[in-house]
A and B are shown apart, each in its own frame.
Chain A
Amino acid sequence: MNTIKAFINDKEYTIDSGLTIMQACDSIGIKIPRLCYHPKLSISSGCRICIVEVEGMRNFVASCSYPISEGMKIHTNTDAVRKARKDILELILDNHPKDCNACVRDEVCELQQLASTIGLRERKFEGVRREKYVDDSSPSIVNNHEKCILCGRCVKVCSQIQNISAIDYANRGFDTVIVPAFNDKIANSVCTLCGQCVNVCPTAALTEKNYTQDVFALLNDKTKIKIAQVAPSVRVAIGEAFGIPAGNNMEREIAHALKLLGFDYVFDSQFSADLTIMEEASELLERLNGKGKLPMITSCSSGWMKALEQFHPDLIDNVSTCKSPMSMMSSIVKTYFADKIGRKPSEIANVAIMCCVAKKYEAKRPELAMEDGTPATDYVITTRELAWMIKSAGIDFKNLKGQDFDAPLGLSTGAATIFGVTGGVMEAAIRTAYELATKKPLENIDITAVRGNEGIKEGSIEINGKEIRVAVASGLGNAHKLLEIVKKDPERYHFIEIMACPGGCIGGGGQPYSGIRDLPFDPKLVSERAKALYKSDELNKIRRSHENPAIIKLYDEFLGKPLGEKSHKYLHTHYKQKFPKGIIRKSKEK
């Protein structure tokens, strides 16, 4: 690679050519403050926080976009540039509420951190403020416009990563807002509720809808049996909210903390992930035998299901009829388990702890309700919300001894653990489908072709002499690309896994905000979480869903057989086209 010589703060450095000033400074260990910039998104140089002084230039330049060149003399920390950054930030804050200590992002707010970094210690200007306007129409995402600083990262992640374009800037000047088309509410828009906008928002302008108060109230309700379930990817991320490095599996601490919070039973969504595999692998084998459409596409991801209904209604018959693991668990708890403990379903409350904000919407889907119309899953809270509840209840999470999930719905296999990472459902399904179809053990159960952080992956496996071609996409932008291929060439694949969030559930919209002054939506963070899940799979003695003894017992005692009558009643569902219909921008590369 070519290099250039440049001066940064009066010292000479040899730097790879082709970098921006910001990248060059990052490479020598100087992190220039930044706000609207994100390495995964296009650069707009809008916020001007990252300005630096360059000798010979009339004005300060935005380091995020300005290329470094031979002999350039850059100063990142002069009095003048520090003062200018402070003025800029003061003007941004001028149109922002002063309620930090009563704000949900207190302590984890990027804007607050930036003010501290820049050294802003007083607010001099008292100007006109944008009006308070809160869109809480959706069960998943709340948009509080009063806190929006128009950095635009949400707009970019929605269009450039997810290719959904649910929101954009509207109006201009002081009246500029970020809203869905026609100023509609989020609930009436094409928004899939994936929550990636929440992940990249530097303030509390976009947050999940918070149900923690409802859950605390429930925990104090003596008339209810309180049951928690925990998604795989929650356990490898929640530690980050307590200052524990990414990639530590905290499942035992979570189970312990939930008991201390007052849950009567703590179950594991990994149990129902195993159950999903039993049903989904059987469904795949049926479809391969001519009963139903191919390719079959997975249905676990709530954000993807909403995208299916609004962006790809023509593929509804291709999608597996299996409910998500969360909804399967809730169904089984209020039927099989209720019966076991001699309680009525109405006496039971299901709380799901998920890495996801779209799951809050899924819980309210009428087609997933119990027979009497009440929801199977009563509340969904995110990893972030649980972390706050644990702190709020004074539980010393880091130092808990830890305990197991409760039997029988807390036992799971390694196959279920990897549901949390892109390619995991595929891998788990192949392990079971292969063995159910061939009655022979699968020799190498690590199916590496579908592992890794790439947006689209493909592979194939031979089952009974037939080549089964599979593909995996994570992030809705990648999903659109993959489905474009499928629509042109429907024979190309037999089985497809789609997750709405980049990296799969571990990159979900409900995961802890990145650490102080770290990058939100960081691919490195996501891969640490993935490693922890794969390690947990490896360490599990049972790594195939169909070998889970609690699952075998559930079929013996209650369900009968996969795709049987009871399975269809409690574990399967159907989807319908929803409006408005979304527009998918075609990918540029041909």
Chain B
Amino acid sequence: MTSHIHNQEEINKQIKDFIAEILKQDRPDSHLITVLHKAQELNGYLSREVMDLVSQEMNIPTSTIWGVATFYHYFKLNPIGKYNISVCMGTACYVKGASEILETLKEELGIGVGETTEDMLFSMHEARCIGACGLAPVAMINDKIYGELTPKKITDIINKLRKEEETK
């Protein structure tokens, strides 16, 4: 695991460097969201340790940071799995049965919205309209869009991804 620790140190260093630049500007506090974006980009999600680091470096109380991090859907508070599934819950998808897709995934993966499976393979999130209403209901897995989903179809996709991982 040494490589991981080294990696975390490197991530922390990059976050610190980014904040150091921000602190040179006027009203650095107002850049908190920018910093959290960067931290999430580097770390994959906002861990407690990362939020503590931002708090210390920017001199902003952790309660404030927690408030911002939990307000915006964009911020992830749990580690993200290899396959990040976003189920579109926009109006068109919703009408075409997006909640059934969501329920199927919850059952199939054994996790709730915003959570990650123990094997770190799958994460699940709700998304607002992703602009593919013609294909409703849709889900995105990482950068790929899957349209005209049914409970069966999404289960097949999950099983296919699982198989791929097993054979690797």
Contact = CB atoms under 8 A, between A and B. Distances in A.
Query: Do the two chains bind?
Result: yes
Interface of A: 159, 165-172, 179-183, 189-190, 580, 582-586
A167 B64 CA distance: 8
B66 A165 contact: no
Given A168-B66, A170-B66, A182-B48, A583 B60 contact: yes
Contacts of B48: 182
B61 A165 contact: yes
Given A165-B64, A168-B64, A182-B48, A583 B70 contact: no
B14 interface: no
Given A583-B55, A583-B56, A183 B62 contact: no
Contact of A583 (B61, B66, B67): B61
B31 to A, nearest CB: 15
Contacts of B64: 165, 168
Interface in B52-74: 52, 55-56, 59-67, 70-71
B66 A586 contact: no
A212 B55 CA distance: 39
18 contacts: A169-B67, A169-B71, A170-B67, A170-B71, A171-B71, A181-B61, A181-B62, A181-B65, A182-B48, A182-B51, A182-B62, A182-B66, A183-B66, A190-B62, A580-B52, A580-B62, A583-B55, A585-B60
B59 A585 contact: yes
A112 B80 CA distance: 46
Contacts of B66: 168, 170, 179, 181-183
Interface of B: 48, 51-52, 55-56, 59-67, 70-71
B29 to A, nearest CB: 9
Nearest to A173: B71
Given A170-B67, A583-B61, 7 more contacts: A165-B61, A179-B63, A181-B61, A189-B63, A580-B52, A583-B60, A585-B61
B55 to A, nearest CB: 6
A487 to B, nearest CB: 15
Nearest to B59: A583
A294 B51 CA distance: 36
Contacts of A582: 61
B70 A166 contact: no
Nearest to B66: A181
A180 B63 contact: yes
Task: Name B's interface SS.
Answer: helix
Q: Which 5 A-B pairs have the closest CB atoms?
A: A181-B62, A165-B61, A168-B63, A168-B67, A181-B63
A187 to B, nearest CB: 15
B98 to A, nearest CB: 19
A166 B66 CA distance: 11
A179 B66 CA distance: 9
Contacts of B70: 170-172
A167 B71 contact: no
Contact of B59 (A169, A180, A182, A586): A586
A172 B63 CA distance: 15
Contacts of B60: 583, 585
Contacts of B67: 168-170
Nearest to B61: A165
A580 B65 CA distance: 15
Contacts, number: 52
Contacts of A159: 61
Nearest to B56: A583
A179 B63 CA distance: 8
Contacts of B56: 583
B49 to A, nearest CB: 11
B59 A165 contact: no
B30 to A, nearest CB: 14
Contacts of B59: 583-586
A170 B56 CA distance: 20
Contacts of B71: 169-172
Nearest to A191: B63
A117 B13 CA distance: 57
Interface centre among A168, A190, A585 (most CB of B within 10 A): A168
Contacts of A168: 61, 63-64, 66-67
Contacts of B52: 580
A589 to B, nearest CB: 15
A181 B56 CA distance: 14
Given A182-B48, A583-B55, A583-B56, A167 B63 contact: yes
Contacts of B51: 181-182
Interface centre among B52, B62, B65 (most CB of A within 10 A): B62
Contacts of A583: 55-56, 59-62
Interface centre among B52, B60, B67 (most CB of A within 10 A): B67
A111 B62 CA distance: 30
Nearest to A166: B63
A150 to B, nearest CB: 12
A484 to B, nearest CB: 12
A137 to B, nearest CB: 16
A172 B70 CA distance: 8
A167 B66 CA distance: 10
A483 to B, nearest CB: 15
Nearest to A181: B62
Contacts of B65: 181
Nearest to B55: A583
A176 to B, nearest CB: 9
Contacts of A165: 61, 63-64
A182 B64 CA distance: 10
A548 B149 CA distance: 86
A179 B71 CA distance: 13
A454 to B, nearest CB: 26
A517 B64 CA distance: 31
A172 B71 CA distance: 5
Nearest to B52: A580
A179 B65 CA distance: 12
B108 to A, nearest CB: 26
Nearest to A165: B61
Nearest to B67: A168
A250 to B, nearest CB: 38
A227 B126 CA distance: 60
Contacts of A189: 63
Nearest to B48: A182
A3 B119 CA distance: 71
Contacts of A183: 66
Interface centre among B52, B63, B66 (most CB of A within 10 A): B63
A167 B71 CA distance: 15
A183 B66 CA distance: 8
A561 B9 CA distance: 55
B116 to A, nearest CB: 18
Contacts of A586: 59
